[in-house]
Amino acid sequence: MREVPTSEFTRNFGLYREIVQREPLAVTSHGRPTGYFVSSVEFEELQRYKSMVQRSFATSELPEDEVRAIAKGRMSARHDHLNALLDEE
C-alpha cells in the first residue's frame, strides 16, 4: 500500500483521488498512518462486509431464559446418539 504524508496529500489531492481508484492510500503524519483514503467502491464493499459479520459475545452475557432454551435444544433424530450424550448428567 502506498503511503503519503498529510502535507503531500493535501497539496496534491486531485492526484491521489485518481490513484485511490486503483489502490488504497495510507495518509501519514510523522511517519505513522493517521487514516486511509479508499475508493467509494472499496468503502461500500467494506460496509457490506461489516454488516454481514456476526458479532460475538460471551455466553455469560446471555439472559437466563436463553440459556435454558439452548439447553433444551436437541438435534434431529439422525443424531439421537449425540442427543443421548447431552442427557447424561
In this predicted structure, what is the pLDDT of residue 72? Answer: 84
In this predicted structure, what is the pLDDT of residue 86? Answer: 77
The DSSP-derived string for 50-81 is: HHHSPPP--GGGS-HHHHHHHHH----GGGHH
Q: What is the CATH number of the domain that holds 35?
A: 3.40.1620.10
- Residue 30 falls inside a structural domain: yes
- Residue 70 falls inside a structural domain: yes
- Residue 28 falls inside a structural domain: yes
Report the domain count for the chain: 1
- Residue 59 falls inside a structural domain: yes
pLDDT digits (tens, 9 = 90+) for 19-71: 999 999 999 999 999 999 999 999 999 999 888 887 777 888 889 998 888 88
Q: Which residues pair with 35 in a beta bridge?
A: 27
- Residue 65 falls inside a structural domain: yes
Q: Which residues pair with 27 in a beta bridge?
A: 4, 35
What share of the chain has pLDDT > 90, as a percent? 56
Q: Which residues pair with 5 in a beta bridge?
A: 28
Domain range for 61 is 1-75
Query: In the predicted model, is pLDDT for residue 87 greater than 80?
Result: no
- Residue 37 falls inside a structural domain: yes
In this predicted structure, what is the pLDDT of residue 7? Answer: 96
